[in-house]
Structure 1
Amino acid sequence: MINDVSWKHRNESYPAEFILLGMANHPHLELLLSAVVLIGYVMTLLGNTTIVVVSCLDPHLQTPMYFFLSNLSFLDLCYTTSLGPQMLVNFWTKRKTISYVACAVQLYVSLGLGSTECVLLAAMAYDRYAAYPGPAPKLHHTIMSHSVMFQNGWFLLGGWLPANSLVQSAMTLSLPLCGHNKIDHFFCEVPTLLRLSCVDTSVNEAELLGASVVILLIPLSLIIISYFYITRNILRIRSVEGRRKAFNTCASHVTVVSLFYGSAIFSYVQPPSNYSRDQGKMMSLFYTMVAPMLNPLIYTLRNKEFHRAVKRVMGREPRS
């Protein structure tokens, strides 16, 4: 009898599945949003796959900048794939559910990949700084070489960021829900899951805020500092045309950083109790589907070097 009661309590605390409400209050928007997600996902696959393939195949793009760019594209591919298909299924079916295990996996993977992208964007900012006149170029080929980067940077990230993602996921999913299984969102996300809990979540909110400061605001601060020095170095260039080209080179990365960090900070660097549900949903769609779709366009639309590399890979331009 006691076992039956405890099993029943466990089932109420940790449901077998969640119901993803999405835009249940605005069903007329679901068709539009499903089109946005589908277009965004397909374009993300095409654009980012192109960058990864061309960067790997063309020897002229074997530089730190394109190494970072191809890694960013690969991250975006994995990130949108961890969320996009599930969202499309829920848009197109009446039973909008996700199993408890699938929710846990989705939460862990999306947190890990999103955190890695924050750090990667900061590394790209330093790479841009190291490429301009000043003391940094002397260290550029040492610090930014692929072997040193893998050994000292990515191995560290590969150990720390998944651990942080595991801690956040475990703390969130261990909260008792007391039968609440309706997530007012498109996918499993920490702020929305915290709102389902029937116990005090102040410790979880404090941990989420602390982790967000470390993962979002510290890399963003490094990006801002890097671009302060980049701007100072560019202003020392005497040629007006040289300054224009230098600013244009940095503009793409600044745009990507603004899109990703702006929407992510809105979603995570605030208490879940202050989290505006509809605004949060739209913002999450932006940084999970729209931003990864725009990144390839931002980086390659006016990039003549990449255009020539595409032609070389396709055989339309002779390799030199």
Structure 2
Amino acid sequence: MRNKTQKSAIDFTLVGIFSQSQHPALLCVVIFVVFLMALSGNIFLIFLIYSDAHLHTPMYFFISQLSFMDMMYISVTVPKMLMDQITGVNKISVPECGIQMFLYVTLAGSEFFLLASMAYDRYMAICHPLHYPVLMNHKVCLFLASGCWFLGSVDGFLFTPITMTFPFCRSREIHHFFCEVPAILKLSCSDTSLYEIFMYLCCVLMLLVPVTIISGSYYFILLTIHRMNSAEGRKKAFATCSSHMTVVLLFYGAAIYTYMLPNSYHTSEKDMMVSVFYTILTPVLNPLIYSLRNKDVIGALKKMLNVGIVFQ
């Protein structure tokens, strides 16, 4: 009993979003439905891309990587949050908190660079169409995807150990639904200002490099689209790029708010709402953005449905 009491004393308590809601049971059901939609949507998009030979191109390879990241992204936080609400136990141990933080930071960092790789791919496809098959071959795509995962893991290995080694002598209640770095730092009784400056500079670098690549790519893409003689070609290029830019704005906007705005702009409630948006809603929106606005994906879906009808 004493060991159990000591263990519960050092565990963190996740306050979560359900404590802020007047109808926690309804909110739990809604989040569960959204979670299932995100998983099923991304799994189906990955299956569709790998089952249709017409979608075996660099663009759809990167979209499948994005869907895989989104599946992991939402799975890191939501199942734990739902189980806590169902069981009524909202404790998380220090090792579990560290693992959740590491996975979350790694996936977020990987997605930053993946979105930049996707912008670079569109630049090569639209601005250098004749050299595109050579410059963006399968080996190059694998190299870029591996680089995204590696840089994201560097982010995780950098922030997680430092954050978790701070002494926590205040309340161990995390006013969040998962172990996010800023929420954990608020519990420390030591001076974290130097680390927060370091984290801010790292986040600026992590965002500046992808944003520069994305901005540069789309600058040249827009110039090329403007020079196109074919109205159909302009329309197709713009539709593809607008889908990607929608995802970029959603994801980067939320990340800039969370990690780069001063503390005076933050409250626990605002931070949780923003995290709900890009942790839970973005993985649902991404497959919809890339499927509903994409003629190739819709064509592959129709072909799959037609094959199913023929076999029946």
- TM superposition score normalised by structure 1: 0.88
Question: In the alignment, which residue of structure 1 is the partner of 2:76?
Answer: 82
Deviates more, 1:309-318 or 1:98-107: 309-318
Equivalent residue in structure 1 for 2:137, among 136, 141, 145 = 145
> SS of the counterpart of 2:177?
coil
How far apart, CA to CA, are the structure 2 residues paired with 1:29 and 1:230?
Answer: 47
Distance between the aligned counterparts of 1:198 and 1:162, measured in 2?
A: 28
Are residues 38 and 194 of structure 1, via their aligned partners in 2, closer, same or farther at CA, if it must alter by over 3 Å? same
Per mean C-alpha deviation after superposition, the further-off stretch among 106-115 and 270-279 is 270-279
Secondary structure at 1:238's aligned position in 2? coil
Is the Cα contact below 8 Å between 1:181 and 1:196 reproduced in 2? yes
Match for residue 205 of structure 1?
196
**Secondary structure of residue in 1 paired with 2:186:** helix
How far does residue 304 in structure 1 lie from its aligned partner after superposition? 2.5
Residue 219 (str. 1) matches residue 213 (str. 2): no
Which residue of the partner structure matches residue 49 of structure 2? 55
What SS does the corresponding residue of 1:19 show, helix, strand or coil?
A: strand
CA contact (8 A) 1:191 1:272 kept: no
Cα offset, 1:274, TM superposition:
4.6
Measured in 2, the distance between the counterparts of 1:177 and 1:272 equals 19
Distance in 1, Cα, partners of 2:273 & 2:146 = 34
Distance (whole Å) between structure 1 residues aligned to residue 111 and residue 254 of structure 2: 14
Find 2:238's aligned residue among 247, 254, 273: 247
Listed as ranges, the gaps of 5+ residues in structure 2 are: 1-5
Once the two structures are TM-superposed, the CA of residue 146 in structure 1 deviates from its matched residue by: 1.6
The answer for the alignment partner of 1:68 in structure 2 is: 62
Equivalent residue of 1:222, what SS? helix
Q: Please give the alpha-carbon distance, in whole angstroms, between the structure 2 residues aligned to 1:51 and 1:264.
A: 25
Distance 1:24 1:241, change over 3 A: closer
Please say if 1:180 is aligned against 2:158.
no
The answer on whether the counterparts of 2:175 and 2:268 sit within 8 Å (CA) in structure 1 is yes
Paired residue type of 2:279: T
- Describe how 1:1-20 pairs up with structure 2 within 5 A: 16-20=10-14
Separation in structure 2 between the aligned mates of residue 286 and residue 94 of structure 1, nearest angstrom: 24
* Residues 114, 148 of structure 2: 8 Å contact kept: no
Q: Which segments of 5 or more consecutive residues in structure 1 lack a partner in the other structure?
A: 1-10
CA RMSD of aligned residues (A): 2.2
Q: State the 1:67 CA deviation.
A: 0.4
Question: Helix, strand or coil for the counterpart of 1:196?
Answer: coil
| Contact kept? 1:107, 1:188, Cα under 8 Å | yes
5 Å-filtered alignment, 1:129-144, equals 129-132=123-126, 134=127, 136-144=128-136
User: How high is the TM-score relative to the length of structure 2?
Assistant: 0.90
| Preserved contact between residue 18 and residue 27 of structure 2 (Cα < 8 Å) | no
> Which amino acid in the other structure matches residue 49 of structure 2?
S
Match of 2:103 in 1: 109
